[in-house]
Amino acid sequence: MTESAGELFDLGYKRYEGPREGRMRARKAVFTNGVRTTLGLGRSSSAKVLPIIFFVAVMAPAVVLALVASQASALDLPGHSDYYQSVSIMLLLFSAIIAPELLCPDRRTGVIGLYLVRPLTVTDYLAGRWLAFFSITLLLVYSGQVILLFGLTLSAESPGEYLQDNWLDIPRFFGAGFLIALFTTTLSLAISAFTTRKAYAAAFVIGIFIISSAVAGILTGCEEHNDGAGGGVGQCEPLTGDFAKWFGLIDVRGVTIHMSDLIFDVKSTPEGSGRIAVLHNIIPISTYEACLAG
């Protein structure tokens, strides 16, 4: 019989003499990994497709409006108060599809157990993931507004006067964008924490958007009656009476729109008054806004 030969190598043991960064280093690692996961960095090409599509879709309205404004400055184009309404659906879809990537795979594969071996708590892990996704969402939200600001400013006959007349739009779109990113990030990650399957989490988030809009449309539905004077249209009477304005808050998608309207101090009307939001109805906006106003 042939005996197997083996060798032993005494490689020695050397103590680690470098800096011990401890818990903060672990937090930074979770945050950095979350950013890379959100953007699909360090992964296959297919993982980068969806983030790119969403970024292009959110930037497109701002770029188009900026180009139109540069060619036809006399037109009354939608401004910063309308932008978030035009991209609200894309932001919600972005959070619904991308957010599960940050939590579900770690739980399904058991990697989260390795994270917690380090000087890292569950709170640190969740905060790092949330902050990573919030940062990318905030960047996505602000980029379109900044592009739109440059386009509208440069296309004005007097850029200085335009900024002087509309400078309040800048803190407003920063504030509205912060709240919108906060809402979409928290909602999607909170739902994703309850399942280990990305598809289930994404489907559940999208389902909430659709079902909440449908339920709100039913509960806030109203019928218009003639005022009896000249055959014109009178007041809208909600089916749920005075509670209609509270039932309207059930619409999850409408939360981002109404936060933006509140900060910009604007009010949607049944006629639309040029608002882009009318193009993206899931429920009848004319009925919905009339009931909320009443």
Average pLDDT over residues 118-134: 91
Distances (CA, A) of 239 to 14, 49, 167, 213, 225: 76, 44, 41, 16, 13
Q: How many residues does the chain have?
A: 294
Q: What is the per-residue pLDDT across 37-85, written as a single tens digit (0 to 9) for each?
A: 999 888 888 888 988 999 999 888 888 887 887 776 556 667 788 888 8
Q: Is the pLDDT of residue 271 over 50?
A: no
pTM comes to: 0.76
* Structural domain contains residue 266: yes
Separation between Cα atoms, residue 87 and residue 52, nearest integer Å: 15
* Structural domain contains residue 5: no
Comparing CA positions, the residue from 147, 7, 178 lying closest to residue 69 is: 147
* Structural domain contains residue 16: no
* Structural domain contains residue 13: no
Q: What is the per-residue pLDDT across 24-46, written as a single tens digit (0 to 9) for each?
A: 888 898 999 999 999 988 888 88
Domains identified in the chain, total number: 1
* Structural domain contains residue 15: no
* Structural domain contains residue 84: yes
Range of the structural domain that residue 107 is part of: 23-224+233-293
* Structural domain contains residue 10: no
Rounded to the nearest 5°, which phi and psi values hold at 222? Answer: -145, 165
- Going by the DSSP 8-state scheme, the letter that residue 225 receives in this structure is E
* Structural domain contains residue 87: yes
